[in-house]
Amino acid sequence: MLPHPLSLKKLSVFLLVQLIANLAAAQVYNSSISAATGGTGRATVEAGDSTFLNPASQVHLRGHYFFASCAEDEFAITLSDNTEESMFPATLGYVQRTTDVAQGELKQSDIMLSLAEFIVDKWAFGITGHYIEQKLPESSYRQPNADIGMMYTPKSNIGWGLVVYNVFGENKDAPENIRQKTSVGGGFNYIYKEAMRFRVDATSESVFGAGLETYVNRFLITRIGYSNDTDDERELLTAGFGFKGPRFALSYAYQGNQKFSGDYRHSVDLEIPF
């Protein structure tokens, strides 16, 4: 006997709510560049991802950068400094998220400070310190934590990245579904003749992604990608585009789940070098 159509609809809505709730304690924030390329970026150099995905990549930035990213119920902002006057490449960042979980509305904020430096030729090391605050309707939780990243760039067009997130472990006082857990992520980046960039990432949370950027001309970039969370059976198709001018850069990204029409994300970024 087949289930009633209404029951199937209710089941789909229930599964979608559970899926979104499970994503509430996402490990990292994705800029629009990362989001449009399947969540990749641990081995790339982008002002918008250096604090969130791999702090070691900051050593390859040059100058000062202001970055801001906005998605539905998400906001991120960073200031980066890698000049001759600075002692270390550094970034100060802030992320704010609002999501619905089983306990009600979760408001999460994260203040970050990242530092990086070359340890030997072509090998870079970076660390990001976090101060995370999570607020539920009837309780709140605070925890310091840290991410440690490495990046190896044997050639100017090739990069490898490895990051350990939340090295201090999860906050045992917080409900399990909102805890920031320790995980590992790695990535690979390859630029082909300054015309295309291939990106591949994977994490210990059974998430892997791949992305491709195509440089239409010196200013315009198109992006596509694919991401698969095999534990949650969540597959995302991603796409976006960017404008990278001499004074500022704009990027847009879309992520969409082909199984659940309500599981999608739009984001827009602004990057200003100064």
Tokens at residue 39, please? 């969540």
- Residue-level pLDDT at 232: 87
The residue among 115, 210, 109, 126 whose CA lies nearest residue 165 is 126
Can you tell me the distance from the alpha carbon of 46 to that of 253, in angstroms, rounded to the nearest whole number? 15
Amino acid in the structure at residue 204: S
Could you say which DSSP state residue 60 is in? G
Can you tell me the distance from the alpha carbon of 83 to that of 56, in angstroms, rounded to the nearest whole number? 16
CB atoms within 10 A of CB 130: 21
Can you tell me the distance from the alpha carbon of 21 to that of 194, in angstroms, rounded to the nearest whole number? 40
Q: Mean pLDDT by 10-residue block, N- to C-terminus, for the chain (274 residues)?
A: 47 44 64 98 95 96 96 96 92 96 96 97 97 97 97 97 97 94 97 96 97 96 97 94 96 94 94 96
Q: CA end-to-end span of the chain, whole Å?
A: 66
The residue among 108, 94, 81, 20 whose CA lies nearest residue 52 is 94
**pTM across the whole model:** 0.88
- Name 154's Cβ contacts closer than 8 Å, sequence gap at least 6: 122
- Residue-level pLDDT at 48: 92
- Residue-level pLDDT at 7: 52
- Residue-level pLDDT at 1: 45
Domains delineated in the chain: 5-273 (2.40.160.60)
Could you say which DSSP state residue 218 is in? S
- Residue-level pLDDT at 258: 85
- Name 122's Cβ contacts closer than 8 Å, sequence gap at least 6: 152, 153, 154
Can you tell me the distance from the alpha carbon of 58 to that of 55, in angstroms, rounded to the nearest whole number? 6
Can you tell me the distance from the alpha carbon of 95 to that of 106, in angstroms, rounded to the nearest whole number? 14
- Name 66's Cβ contacts closer than 8 Å, sequence gap at least 6: 78, 79, 270, 271, 272, 274
Can you tell me the distance from the alpha carbon of 167 to that of 271, in angstroms, rounded to the nearest whole number? 29
- Residue-level pLDDT at 259: 87
